[in-house]
Amino acid sequence: MRVLIVAPKMSIYGGAEILVVRLANCLSRIGIKNAVLTTDILPEIERDLIDTPIFNYSFKKMTGILKFLNLFKMIYSLNKGIREHRKNFDVINVHNYPAEFAIFPYRTPCVWMCNEPPMVEIGFLQTPKGTLKHLVLEVILALDRHVVQRYVKNAVVADEFNLNRFLGIYCFKPAIIHYGIDHDFFAEGGTRPGSEIQREFRVLHVGMLSPLKNQLASVQTIERLRDSIPNVKLILAGFGEGDYLATIKKYVAEMNLEEHVLFTGHVSRSQLRDFYHSCDVLLHPIRSQGGWLSPFEAVCANLPIVVSEEMTAAALVREYDLGIVTNDFAGALLEIHGNRDEHKGMAERRARWVRDNLSWDRFSEKLVESFAAALEAAAAVR
C-alpha cells in the first residue's frame, strides 16, 4: 500500500499538523510508503517528518480585494500535485478543507480525515443570512457536498458528535477513530506545587485566539472569580491577532483584569508542556470546533480539566470521568480550587486511560484499515 497524504497548508504546528506528522511517521515505521502533498510547510514540521517525501506546491498569495482567490489557487495547486503523483500511490488521504475539492475528477481511492466539516471551518453558521458572503459560502458548500458524495468513498471523524454532524451534511456514515495523544511527552515535567503552597491559582486556556476557541468566556470566568479567588491567574497560551484579540484586551482593560490575565502568544510544544505542569487546571470553554487534543494532553500531565458541553469530545470526557464537563465554568473552577487533593488523586487513573486508549499507533492502525477498505471498495467496482 502507498499513501499520498494531502494537507492544504502546514504553516502552523497545531493539532491537524501533529496528526499528519504522527500518521506519516507511523506509516513509515510499519513499512507503508507515504508522501505529504501541501502548499506550505514549516521547517519544524519538515524536520519532524521521518522518511516521508514532501511535495510542496506553493503559490503566490494574493492580497487586498483579491485575497479570496487564494482558495482557488490552493485547490488548483493541490489538484496539480495529485494529478502529477497519483499514479505512484494507491490511496489518497485528504485532510482539512479545501483538500477534498482537489481530488476532482480522479477516481483514486480516497479517505477523508474530516477533522471538522467545511461548514464549521469557514464560519458559515456565523455569517449573516442574505449577505453576499453567505451566498458565496452556500455555493462553496453545495460544491463541497457534490464532490465528497461522488469522489470520497471513505471518511473518518474523531468522535460521535462529528459522526452525526458529518452524516447530516453528506448523507453517508464515516468511521470514528479517536486521535492519538503523545502521552509520554506530556507526562514528562516538573512536579506541580501542592495546595499547601500559597501562590497563584493558575488557569490555563490553550489554543489560537478565536471566537470558536472562546477565550472571552475564560476571561469572563476569571472576572467572576477574582473576589472568591483573589490570586487567580488566567494564562491564554496561543497566537492571537485582529479583532478578536482586540475585543479580549478591551474587556480585560475595562474590567481591570490586567494582573489576572497573561497573553503568551504562540508557544512551542515544550513550552506548552511546561504550562500543563505548572498550572492548576485547564479551562476549555471551546465551541464545537477544533481543540480536541489539548484536554487529553493536559490529562497526561495530571492536570484537571474543565471542558464545555459543546466540545466535540465532551461525551468521551464524561463517559470515562476524565474531567468536568459543564458550561458553569466558574462553579467548576471553584470546585477544583477547593478540592485539589481529590482531583490529584484521580490524575494517575485518568492519565493511564489516555495512555492506553489514545495512542498515535492505534490511530494509524485504524486509519490503515480505512485505507484498505477504500481499496477493497474500489476493486469491487472495477
Average pLDDT over residues 302-319: 94
Please indicate, yes or no, whether residues 11 and 133 belong to a single structural domain of this protein: yes
pLDDT, position 63:
84
Average pLDDT over residues 171-198: 78
pLDDT at 381 over 70: no
Please indicate, yes or no, whether residues 176 and 85 belong to a single structural domain of this protein: yes
Task: Report pLDDT digits (tens) over 223-254.
Answer: 999 999 999 999 999 988 889 999 999 999 99
Euclidean distance between CA atoms 115 and 226, whole angstroms: 36
Residue among 187, 166, 186 nearest 176 (CA): 166
Please indicate, yes or no, whether residues 327 and 366 belong to a single structural domain of this protein: no
CB-count burial class (<10 Å; 0-12, 13-18, 19+) for 131: exposed
User: What's the domain range around 77?
Assistant: 2-180+360-381
Residues paired with 176 in a beta bridge: 157
Q: Which has more pLDDT, 12 or 243?
A: 243
Would you give the DSSP letter of residue 365?
H
Average pLDDT over residues 175-196: 78
Please indicate, yes or no, whether residues 254 and 295 belong to a single structural domain of this protein: yes
pLDDT, position 209:
92
Confidence category of residue 196, pLDDT binned at 50, 70, 90: very low
Please indicate, yes or no, whether residues 169 and 228 belong to a single structural domain of this protein: no
User: What is the amino acid identity at position 214?
Assistant: N
Euclidean distance between CA atoms 234 and 200, whole angstroms: 10
What pTM, to 2 d.p., does this model score? 0.84
Please indicate, yes or no, whether residues 314 and 194 belong to a single structural domain of this protein: yes
Cell numbers given for 89: 500511490
Cell 506553493 belongs to residue: 58
Q: How far is CA 167 from the centre of its chain?
A: 20
Cell 470553554 belongs to residue: 285
Cell numbers given for 166: 458529518
Please indicate, yes or no, whether residues 114 and 253 belong to a single structural domain of this protein: no
Task: Report pLDDT digits (tens) over 44-93.
Answer: 999 999 999 999 999 988 888 788 788 899 999 999 999 999 999 999 99
Please indicate, yes or no, whether residues 246 and 97 belong to a single structural domain of this protein: no
Left (φ > 0), alpha (ψ -120 to 50) or beta: where does 171 sit?
left
The reply to whether omega before 98 is within 30° of 0 (cis) is yes
- Contact yes or no for 226/257 (Cβ under 8 A): yes
Please indicate, yes or no, whether residues 74 and 214 belong to a single structural domain of this protein: no
Q: How far is CA 348 from the centre of its chain?
A: 25
Q: How many CA atoms lie within 13 A of 93 on its CB side?
A: 27
pLDDT, position 14:
82
pLDDT, position 198:
46
B/e letters for 42-73, b = 16+ CB within 10 Å, e = fewer, are eeebeebbeebeebebeeeeeeeeeeeebbee
113 membership: H or E segment, kind and range: strand 110-113
CATH number at residue 103: 3.40.50.2000
Would you give the DSSP letter of residue 248?
H
Report residue 33: phi and psi, to 5°: -60, 135
Please indicate, yes or no, whether residues 371 and 330 belong to a single structural domain of this protein: no
pLDDT at 286 over 60: yes
- Give the number of domains in the chain: 2
Please indicate, yes or no, whether residues 272 and 209 belong to a single structural domain of this protein: yes
CB atoms inside a 10 Å sphere around CB 275: 20
Share of the chain above pLDDT 70, in %: 96
Q: How far is CA 197 from the centre of its chain?
A: 34
pLDDT at 337 over 90: yes
Average pLDDT over residues 177-181: 94
Please indicate, yes or no, whether residues 199 and 64 belong to a single structural domain of this protein: no
Radius of gyration over alpha carbons of the chain, in Å? 21
Residue among 305, 257, 260, 304 nearest 285 (CA): 305
